[in-house]
Amino acid sequence: MPEAFPSLADLHARNPLHQAAYPDASAVTEVVKELEQRPPLVFAGECDDLRGKLAQVARREGFVLQGGDCAETFAGVTAANIQGKLRVLLAMAVVLTYAAQVPVVKIGRLAGQYAKPRSKDTETRGGVTLPVYKGDAVNGFAFTPEARTPDPRRLLEVYNASAATLNLTRAFVTGGFAHLAQVHSWNADWVKSSPVGKQWEQLADEIDRALAFMVACGLDDDAMRSVDLFASHEALLLEYEHALTRVDSRTQRPYNVSGHFVWIGERTRQLDGAHVEMLRHVRNPIGIKLGPTTTAADALALADRLDPDHEPGRISFITRMGAKKIRDLLPDVIEGVSASGREVVWICDPMHGNTFEAANGYKTRAFGDVMDEVNGFFDVHDQLGTWPGGIHVELTGDDVTECVGGADDLAEGDLGNRYESLCDPRLNRNQSLELAFLVSQRLTDGRVRRGLRDLEQSGNELAPARADLPA
């Protein structure tokens, strides 16, 4: 008999971190009641489907691409903005699937990513101190006392914005927009002169030819019409996540129906904390961020608490150690978890350990550091013989200037041109696509190396000559 889902009061008794300090408790109660009446945003069966796909990834049969805004905004719920994000995610997925030949599990950081844990509770400008912006789910970005006061009614707007985003996303990915025959049109307005734009055009041409060949052979290309794209966000605000946890009529078990995949952040993953307690009861596949202080014992304790049954696909560890530290810190954590016999999904978040302040005051990340962390992630998995299961990236479909470097060589002086993130800097669409090409190269290298190893082990006579290829 599964344990009862804890009440909101039980969770609050654990002193949860990074919550909103609402001035009016009765308004919170009203909002929670209303949210509890709203229909689910996702279905339990879809969460099970994703758990199955993640189990395949853990078995080395796929790769996760998880990406989207650092912080979604209500103003950003427009067709153009959502389409832009989907185009870049789908393009990255095509690069990984076609170039690296791995099935890609696509998970958007979208339709719910509206709340942010912050380093400080307040912000001071010109001698005035106000509550810090904690995401549109909590308060407004404008630097006024009215905007910065947490307002629980914003949670209803989170629900509405997420529903609208999911609705359009479902229409895009199943209604023909994602058809592989459209790859050219997804990015028709991309700068063709940029190196990554040219690389994309070449790949799109190849895909066109491959599809034409399939059709000429009499094969149906209908399977290429639609794709699966799942929604994810950090399960941070207890009022929202709790109100959207429902008992599934098929299984009588609780599911968080605000997104298919929810994760616990680096700042709220305390073993006895409210977030771990809440998510240990739900059946969704869940992510856990692991920063540079994580030990193997921490990771194992979290896995034991959140996945006592060792259920395939249940747990994804999203590591974000920083480019300088990953090669030293990650091996112990992976070895400790692997030694326990667990098969988890390992995902690399190369963003959150690589943030710095530019000389002109912008919070930024360098594309070189992002790539260095991704390379470190692949290096460590190659050395240990474990599977690098995916990447988790903050990105946008627009031409923003928030991260420096990349093929277009953005400099710190360019950051002010188009810095739009309300929290952390995102890769723009060229940087995102460039990252996908580099990751696809690492996956291809790994495939070649594993193929050679298998060939060698099988005693095939071709093996000695091939084994001379670079390690």
Ligand X SMILES: C=C(OP(=O)(O)O)C(=O)O
197 interacts with ligand E4P by CB under 6 A: no
CB 99 within 8 A of CB 183: no
Find which of ligand E4P, ligand X, none residue 119 binds, CB within 5 to 8 Å per kind. Answer: ligand E4P
Is 217 labelled as part of a ligand binding site?
no
320 carries a ligand binding annotation:
yes
- Nearer CB in complex with ligand X: 234/241: 234
- Tokens encoding 392: 């988790």
Q: How many residues bind ligand E4P (CB under 6 A)?
A: 8
Helix, strand, or coil (residue 171): helix
412 in a known ligand binding site: no
The reply to whether 283 sits near ligand X by the rule CB under 6 A is no
Nearer to ligand E4P, 62 or 68 (CB): 68
Residues 64-103 that bind ligand E4P (CB under 6 A): 70
Residue 48 interaction partner, one of ligand X, ligand E4P, none, beta carbon < 5-8 Å per kind = none
User: Which residues are within 8 A (CB) of 183 and not within 5 positions of it... i.e. 6 or more apart?
Assistant: 91, 94, 203, 204, 207, 208
Q: Which is nearer to ligand X, 123 or 382 (CB)?
A: 123
Give me 208's structure tokens.
Answer: 């066109």
Angle at 227 between CA 225 and CA 229, to 5 degrees: 155
- Report whether 267 belongs to an annotated binding site: yes
Q: Is 338 helix (H, G, I), strand (E, B) or coil?
A: helix
Stretch that binds ligand X, among 264-272, 280-288, 300-308, 399-407 (CB under 6 A): 264-272
DSSP for 390-447, please give it.
EEEEEB-SS----SBBTTTTB-GGGGGGS---SSS--B-HHHHHHHHHHHHHHHHHHH
Nearer to ligand E4P, 57 or 71 (CB): 71
Does position 53 interact with ligand X (CB under 6 A)? The reply is no
Q: Give backbone dihedrals phi and psi of 125, rounded to 5 degrees, phi first.
A: -130, 130
Residue 266 contact, options ligand E4P, ligand X, none, Cβ 5-8 Å cut-off depending on partner type: ligand X
**Beta pairing partners, 392:** 66
Using the rule CB under 6 A, is 292 a contact of ligand X? no
Q: Consult the annotation and say whether 394 binds a ligand.
A: yes
Report the distance separating Cα 353 and Cα 263, nearest Å.
17
Interface with ligand X includes 148 (CB under 6 A)?
no
Complex with ligand X: residue 62 or 291, whichever CB lies closer: 291
Tell me the two tokens of residue 241: 């996540």
**Nearest residue (CB) to ligand E4P, 18 versus 314:** 18
167: amino acid identity, one letter: N
CB atoms within 10 A of CB 21: 11
Q: Which stretch binds ligand X (CB under 6 A): 8-16, 133-141, 259-267, 364-372?
A: 259-267
CA dist 387 → 248, 308, 342, 424, 454 (Å) = 33, 22, 13, 28, 16
The secondary structure of residue 89, as a DSSP letter, is H
Q: Does 342 bind ligand E4P (CB under 6 A)?
A: no
In the shown chain, the binding pattern of residues 115 to 134 toward ligand E4P, with x for contact by CB under 6 A and - for none, equals: -xxxx---------------
266 lines the binding site for ligand X (CB under 6 A): yes
Pick one of ligand X, ligand E4P, none as the site partner of residue 325 (Cβ within 5 to 8 A by kind).
none
Which phi and psi (to 5°) does residue 433 adopt?
A: -65, -40
26-to-9, 31, 348 alpha-carbon distances in Å: 14, 9, 41
The binding site for Mn(2+) comprises 70, 352, 394, 424
Footprint on this chain of ligand X (rule: CB under 6 A): 70, 117, 234, 265-267, 289, 320, 352
